């Protein structure tokens, strides 16, 4: 069974690649970005076993990327509390959750054999810039 359109959109997003769009244009087409074209090719040509691994490990498993992404956004629900009774808020919770989420995103890129996309620039996926001289 082939990947659904929604799964393909989410895989692009998790791997740090921009949206594909409904109408390919000559300006933003994946043909001009080798890694993007590789990602599209790989998503279209997964074996049944690879597709199962992709779905069960990264998309629907216990610590899937959807849950990790939601954990990052919900971690900010309680940022106003620093200490209450014996409970003390983990000040680095959002950063820790982002690191875990980005680690799994990079694992997905590794599984698919593509480099992390432009929205995951920098070695930690935190928006920093790597310069190659």
Q: Is residue 132 part of a domain?
A: no
Q: Is residue 131 part of a domain?
A: no
Residue 79's domain spans which residues?
A: 5-120
pLDDT tens for 45-104 read: 999 999 999 999 999 877 799 888 888 888 766 655 556 666 666 778 888 888 889 999
Long-range contacts of 109-114 (CB under 8 A, 24+ apart): 109/15, 109/16, 111/53, 111/54, 111/57, 111/58, 112/11, 112/15, 112/39, 112/42, 112/43, 112/54, 113/38, 113/42, 114/15, 114/35, 114/38, 114/39, 114/42
Q: Is residue 58 part of a domain?
A: yes
Domain count for the chain, please give it.
Answer: 1
| Average pLDDT for 36-41 | 87
Q: Is residue 129 part of a domain?
A: no
Q: Is residue 26 part of a domain?
A: yes
Q: Is residue 128 part of a domain?
A: no
């Amino acid at each position: 069974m082939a990947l659904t359109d929604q799964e393909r959109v989410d895989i692009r997003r998790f791997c740090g690649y921009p949206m594909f769009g409904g109408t390919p244009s000559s300006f933003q087409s994946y043909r001009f970005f080798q890694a993007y074209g590789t990602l599209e090719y790989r998503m279209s040509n997964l074996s049944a076993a690879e597709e199962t691994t992709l779905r069960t490990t990264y998309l629907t498993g216990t610590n899937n990327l959807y849950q990790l992404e939601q954990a990052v956004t919900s971690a900010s629900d309680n940022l106003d509390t620093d200490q209450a009774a014996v409970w003390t808020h983990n000040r680095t919770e959002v950063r820790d959750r982002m690191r875990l989420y980005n680690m799994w995103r990079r694992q997905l890129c590794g599984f698919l054999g593509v480099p992390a996309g432009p929205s995951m620039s920098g070695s930690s996926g935190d928006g920093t810039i790597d310069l190659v001289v």
